[in-house]
């Protein structure tokens, strides 16, 4: 039996974990073998993510304390584990997808990325999202594209002007 003071302490720990998270994934780890659990935990650690198992009632209280009220109760059943991202919110989806491809475990129940709720059925979509680094590279590429286009156009004008001057010089030398 967990005392009320222990529950309060556990909720406080969960709140601290949730505060800085950019991606929050709730997974169902029911029927996972020890080997599957160890594989999953190792994959989570490798990507520097946080994994925490807690009772659903404590998770709901912690979610409420940090203002996450968009996870339906229907998604909070059975055994639940949290996978938390603090940098790139898509990394956990890729890890969960990669590990669950072998045995369909763990199963994603729900996810919250930057305040937006996603149902567990949307794991494939979340795993396909570009990483934060990919998005930054794409934005920088888009910003640089107009500049390189301008440089190319200026170079083309200069090249054409040089060709015209060269042709005029040839005509003057021939005359």
pLDDT at 35: 92
Distances (CA, A) of 142 to 103, 137, 147: 40, 9, 9
Q: What is the pLDDT along the chain (175 residues), one digit of tens a residue?
A: 778 899 999 999 999 999 989 999 999 999 899 999 999 999 999 999 999 999 999 999 999 999 998 888 888 988 999 999 998 888 999 999 999 988 889 999 999 988 889 888 888 888 887 777 776 777 777 676 666 666 666 666 566 555 656 665 666 676 6
Q: What is the bridge-based pairing of β-strands 80-85 and 23-28?
A: antiparallel
- CB–CB of 106/28 below 8 Å? yes
pLDDT at 17: 94
In eight-state DSSP terms, residue 63 is H
The rounded distance, in Å, linking the Cα atoms of 87 and 77 is 27
């Amino acid at each position: 039996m967990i005392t009320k003071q222990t529950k309060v302490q556990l909720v406080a720990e969960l709140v601290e974990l949730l505060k800085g998270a950019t991606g929050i994934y709730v997974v169902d780890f029911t029927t996972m073998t020890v080997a599957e659990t160890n594989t999953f935990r190792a994959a989570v650690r490798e990507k520097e993510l946080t994994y925490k198992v807690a009772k659903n009632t404590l998770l709901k209280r912690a979610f409420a304390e940090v203002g996450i009220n968009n996870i339906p109760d229907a998604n909070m059943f059975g055994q639940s584990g949290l996978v938390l991202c603090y940098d790139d919110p898509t990394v956990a989806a890729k890890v969960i997808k990669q590990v669950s491809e072998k045995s369909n475990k763990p199963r994603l129940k729900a996810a919250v990325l930057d305040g937006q709720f996603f149902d567990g059925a949307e794991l494939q979509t979340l795993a396909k999202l570009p990483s934060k680094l990919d998005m930054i590279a794409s934005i920088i590429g888009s910003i640089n594209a107009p500049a390189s286009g301008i440089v190319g156009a200026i170079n083309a004008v200069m090249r054409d002007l040089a060709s015209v001057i060269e042709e005029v010089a040839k005509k003057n030398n021939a005359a």
